Amino acid sequence: MTDTAITPIRIENRLYELSKEIDLIHDQLSKAEMAYHKAKSEFEIGIARARIEVGTSFEKMRVQDIADTALLQCAEEFHTLQIAEALVKAARANAQRVRTQVDIARSIGTSVRASLEI
């Protein structure tokens, strides 16, 4: 049978592990946000160029048709942007998960310390 008692040392070790995980997640989130902003700027520049190109044609088009045509011309940039946005959301959710684990470990630590004082 293994010893599964929760001790202040085990809690401190877990908090230390979580602090290292937070550092890693912060780096991942930072990279994901950089990729997102790069994809967003590339998409916005591409869509602006496409609207200008479509809008200067001699064919009469509705505003929505111009926007739709421009979006189709920038489909790859749009997909890249959507993927980058999903990665940022996932990284933020992961960071929140670790923060929750830290809060739980702190609460358990407080309970363990209080029970040891009794």
Residue 106's contacts (CB-CB under 8 Å, 6 or more residues apart) are 15
Spatial separation of the C-alpha atoms in residues 29 and 26, rounded to whole Å = 5
Q: Residue 20: pLDDT band by 50, 70, 90 thresholds?
A: very high
The answer on pLDDT for 1 being more than 60 is no
Spatial separation of the C-alpha atoms in residues 36 and 53, rounded to whole Å = 25
**Per mean pLDDT, which of 51-55, 67-71, 84-88, 109-113 is the most reliable?**
84-88
| Average pLDDT estimate for 104-108 | 90
Residue 81's contacts (CB-CB under 8 Å, 6 or more residues apart) are 36, 39, 40, 42, 43
Share of the chain above pLDDT 90, in %: 60
Angle between helices 8-55 and 63-73 (to 10 degrees): 120
Contact 84, 32 (CB under 8 A): yes
The answer on pLDDT for 57 being more than 80 is no
Residue 56 DSSP symbol: T
Q: Which domains occur in the chain, in start order? A: 8-117 (1.10.287)
